[in-house]
Structure 1
Amino acid sequence: MAKISASVYTSHVPAIGAAIDLGKTEQEYWQPVFAGYDYSKEWIKENRPDVILLVYNDHANAFDSNFVPTFAIATGDEFKPADEGWGARPVPNVKGHSRLAAHIAQSVIQDEFDLTVVNTIDLDHGLTVPMSLMFGQPEEWPCLVIPIAVNVVLYPPPSGKRCYALGKALRRAVDSFDEDLNVQIWGTGGMSHQLQGPRAGLINREFDLDFLEQLIADPETLSQKPHIDYVRLAGSEGIELVMWLIARGAMNDEVVEKHRFYHVPASNTAVGHMILENS
């Protein structure tokens, strides 16, 4: 049977993708950021999954303001990197697992989550930057990926509680799949940052570090955090952190922390990263 063995959490700062693509990873500014993923690249080689459920948000590339689903799952066999206005990133196409994705859609919708099912979708930095951080620059990605898109761009985004519950529904869906697969779930986005207005550039280290700690020790309570707390304390884009709760909800209550990393700044945001294995 399919099982979720581990979860990965990481920021998906677009400037990180540009630094990789332009060969700037060893520059003084960027080297500390990428050093935080050295352990992760070795870990993923030893713990390579068959499939990744990659939870991310689209940034008005696949979905525009006319149509933004709260939760969407991509069920196709292959997905291209999106052109975000300056050309698509020079990364491989993502190969999907359409049978598992269709099973998850069926299971989760029957479990009372109204996922939007998407067959074709171009994938922006929200998904491709985490892949590059973990796998480097391969000619092909070494595992299959099922994109799960979450609206954290337009009001109203889903609550942390709803995201945490979706993670549990995804876990039930994977557990009921009839193929022997090693599955990981990744939660991406965040941490504290704001891109506009008088508070542009806001970074709240204390909030971020507390979030990382609570995500491991007490995710149930963390899931109750109201949206206004994210906005006030972590900036308008800090709400992306609810996607980490989806990944945590799909894990056991007790987990083993394999790696934790935090760095500021990268571009105008904080970078957070963690790897958890099921105990």
Structure 2
Amino acid sequence: MARITAGVATSHVPLLGVAHDLGKDKDDYFGPIFAGYEWTRAWEKSEKPDVVILVYNDHASAFDMKVIPTFAIGCGERYKPADEGWGPRKVPDVIGHADLAWHIAQCLILDEFDMTIINEMDVDHGLTVPLSMMFGAVEEWPVKVIPLAVNVVTYPPPSGNRCWALGEAIRRAVECYGEDLNVQVWGTGGMSHQLQGARAGLINKEWDNDFLDGMIGDSDRLRHIPHIEYLRETGSEGIEMVMWLIMRGTMGPATRALHRHYHVPCSNTAIGHLVLEPAA
């Protein structure tokens, strides 16, 4: 059967895609950020996952105020990089795993999660930057990807508890899929940052690192953090971290940390990165 073997959490700051594409990943500013992903790149080469379920948020590329799905799963065969205003990134198309995606969608809907099913969409930096951080410059991505888009842009976003529960349901769905597949789940976004207003540039190192601590071990305290705490402590864009909780929910009751990286700043954002495996 298919199995979820690991979880990856990472920020998806668009500036990292720019730095990568322009070959600035080893300069004085970006070098320490990218250095924190070198371990993961080597590890991914040895792990050779077949499929990544990649949890991210769309930034008005595939969805706008006309349609705002809370949870949307990509069930298509291929996804092109989105044009976010300066042309699409020159990275490979993302190849989906439609059979597994449709299976997960069916299981989740029967498990009473109201998923939006997407067969055609372009994917923006929220999805392509994590792929670049984990795999570098490649002619084609070495994994198939199931996009899972979460609304953390427009109020109301889903609660952390609902995201964690969705992760638990995804685990159940993957484990009843008949094909032998090595599946990873990636949760992206964050960490603390605010892009506008009087608190623009807010970074909360203490809160971020406590959140990283909470992803590891057998505690589920993070699923109960209220929206107002994310807003107060991590800025208006810190709510993206609920997407990490979908990944964490797929890991089972307890996790072990294989790798951890935290760095500030990247532009006006805190960079966080974890690699987890189920502890049992």
| TM-score when normalising by structure 2 | 0.99
Q: Give the Cα separation in 2 of the matches to 1:162 and 1:201.
A: 28
Q: 1:229 to 1:57 in 2, by over 3 A?
A: same
Number of residue pairs matched by the alignment: 279
Q: 1:217 Cα deviation (Å)?
A: 2.9
- 1:161 corresponds to: 161
Conservation of the 8 A alpha-carbon contact between 1:219 and 1:245? no
Conservation of the 8 A alpha-carbon contact between 1:259 and 1:274? yes
Conservation of the 8 A alpha-carbon contact between 2:72 and 2:117? yes
- 2:224 corresponds to: 224
Which blocks of at least 5 consecutive residues in structure 2 are unaligned?
Answer: none
Q: 1:27 Cα deviation (Å)?
A: 1.4
- 2:76 corresponds to: 76
Q: 1:232 Cα deviation (Å)?
A: 0.2
Conservation of the 8 A alpha-carbon contact between 1:219 and 1:248? no
- 1:19 corresponds to: 19
Q: 1:60 to 1:106 in 2, by over 3 A?
A: same
Paired letter, 1:32:
P
SS at match of 2:220: helix
Paired letter, 1:273:
H
Q: Give the Cα separation in 2 of the matches to 1:48 and 1:252.
A: 21
Q: 1:266 Cα deviation (Å)?
A: 0.4
Q: 1:267 Cα deviation (Å)?
A: 1.0
Q: Give the Cα separation in 1 of the matches to 2:218 and 2:179.
A: 32
Paired letter, 1:213:
D
Q: 1:55 Cα deviation (Å)?
A: 0.3
| TM-score when normalising by structure 1 | 0.99
SS at match of 2:215: helix
SS at match of 1:236: coil
- 1:186 corresponds to: 186
SS at match of 1:120: coil
Q: 1:257 Cα deviation (Å)?
A: 0.9
Q: 1:218 Cα deviation (Å)?
A: 4.8
Cα-to-partner distance string for 1:138-180 (whole Å, 9 max, x where unaligned): 0000010000000000000000000000000000100110111
- 1:170 corresponds to: 170
**Identity across the alignment (%):** 63
Paired letter, 2:246:
I
SS at match of 1:264: strand
SS at match of 1:207: helix
1:109 aligned onto 2:109: yes
CA RMSD of aligned residues (A): 0.7
Cα-to-partner distance string for 1:78-103 (whole Å, 9 max, x where unaligned): 00000000000010000000000000
SS at match of 1:9: strand
Which blocks of at least 5 consecutive residues in structure 1 are unaligned?
Answer: none
- 1:240 corresponds to: 240
Superposition pairs for residues 1-279 of structure 1, below 5 Å? Answer: 1-279=1-279
Q: Give the Cα separation in 2 of the matches to 1:107 and 1:67.
A: 23
Q: Give the Cα separation in 1 of the matches to 2:187 and 2:25.
A: 23
SS at match of 1:179: coil
